[in-house]
Amino acid sequence: MRLAVAALVSTLALAAACAAAVATSGAPAMQTRSGNVPVLPIQAEDAYYKSAASAVEARIAERGIKPAKNVILFIGDGMGVSTITASRIYAGQSAGVDGESYRLAMDTLPWAALSKTYSHDYQVSDSAGTATAIVSGLKTKSGFLGVSSAANFGNCASVQGAEADTLFEIAQRSGLATGVVSTARITHATPAATFAKVPHRNWEADADMRGASSDTCKDIARQLIEGAASDFDVILGGGRSKFLPKEMPDPEYPDQSGERADGRNLMEDWAAKGGERVTLFDKAGFDGVDFTSGVKVLGLFEPSHMQYELDREEDKAGEPSLEEMTRAAITRLAQNPDGFVLMVEGGRIDHAHHAGNAIRALEDTLAFDAAVAAALEMTSRDDTLIIVTADHSHTLTINGYPQRGNPILGIVTAGASAEGGSLGADGLPYTTLSYANGPGACRETGKDADGKPEYDCKRYDLTGVDTLAADFRQQALVPLYSETHGGEDVAAFASGPGANLVSGVIEQNEIFHIMGRAIGLIPAPDAD
């Protein structure tokens, strides 16, 4: 039922999108809608920054750019092209219609590009380096948040002078409304990229810093509470254990506690900063907030990451959906007449892929797409730039020669003319979706004398196995405890003012420059 509802939302979004006006190229030189004064970020001399700024400026000179009042950045963490395709088919099939020709809400955005996801030091990057590229306009080392490649991994002293401004910090200082929404911990790589400056993405709480001084190099949760991000208007996601002291029981799960070693309750510290503020930890608190007011909201709905969409169905009272959080954030941020900048992350797509568990990755992609549909419904293409992209891909493949309409999570049933038929050369069936590596390469066969798991890493027979089960792991080639990221380009879809700059094959850090130029927060390169 829930998938059918998600499918209906996507269909409605398509109708709305077709009726909306599409931004045209060849617009005159940009005049900002809200009188924003462009600010040169502190990283403006970085070579990656300058190269991306020049590339975007060349497209502006050729095509023009219309001014945006608002920017909404959607990041599907780990949402590679194969994930989008599989999710599209899954959504259509779940709704009882043709999956292959189905359209998601993100499919309706009129502009698209391929985004190159490598980092300064890795062919296949992580979420920290890629998210920093998207929100700060420069490529950096994997594992870094908000600092350039001039810093050294895990070295606090190297951060000074290597910091980078984010679009969200610039927007907040310029008087615009700002918000971050994620199904992951708010201190996790992608949402933390909007505000954190650390040479180690795992420094989420002081207890995670392992010898590094939490005063010299503040942990990520503390940076959120003590830095400019403390004045973000909406912060919704998971990860409250990083904000609570280890002596304090969790407000929702009394058998769990916080993780902070410094004894601080950072949620209380945030609430005490002045003005109208509210902290939330469950759906009841969320439902009680008037998002049409000027209240600032910090909602942390789980001790760690929020639940997978497939599992959230069983605990609707515990936490809001990504779509509900997105609607609330847009409602609240729209109260600012000067405009807003918002990030929405579908953070758990990535986690399901790491587990080799495609069904949860697809379910979370559809929840993410429902949030995109909500944003399209609630905003106008005349004044709101929406970009939907991913930080990186995964090793998920769609393979074999399954017949049209074959269940996307099922065993390959090939047509009569397909080479190789429905079985592998080993005589065993295989699924349409599989991974190049990950935990699905092995299966637990029992326990040894010490009670430790024993594994069989030979490909096993899927005959009679329910490949649509929630906990089924797609088979993988290389056995790893956690499946890895993929290094191919990812999609970037766009609509609204500035969307005409999202085309062709672009560097990932150009996305920052497109957003910043469209909303008038950063100047053209070499501008006085």
C-alpha closest to that of 88 among 76, 99, 74: 99
How many angstroms separate the CA atoms of 60 and 72, rounded?
20
Distance, in Å, from the CA atom of 249 to the CA atom of 240, rounded to the nearest integer, reads 11
Torsion of CA 365, 367, 368, 369, to 10 degrees: 90
Residue among 467, 462, 486, 459 at smallest CA distance from 396: 486
Q: Where are the beta strands (DSSP E) in 205-346?
A: 234-238, 277-280, 296-300, 340-346
- Enter the tokens of residue 276: 């109208």
What is d(CA 498, CA 23) in angstroms, rounded to the nearest whole number? 8
In the set 10, 125, 127, 174, the catalytic residue is 127
Q: Are 392 and 488 in contact (CB under 8 A)?
A: no
Retrieve residue 152's tokens.
């050294």
Q: Which of 430, 433, 431, 402 is nearest to 418 (CA)?
A: 402
Residues 6+ apart with CB under 8 A from 62: none
Contact between 497 and 101 under an 8 Å Cβ cutoff? The reply is no
Annotation says 230 is catalytic: no
**Residue 273 zone, left/alpha/beta (φ > 0; ψ -120 to 50; rest):** alpha
In angstroms, the CA 488 to CA 113 distance is 13
Query: Rounded to an integer, what distance in angstroms lies between the CA atom of residue 441 and that of residue 456?
Result: 9
What residues are annotated to the active site?
127
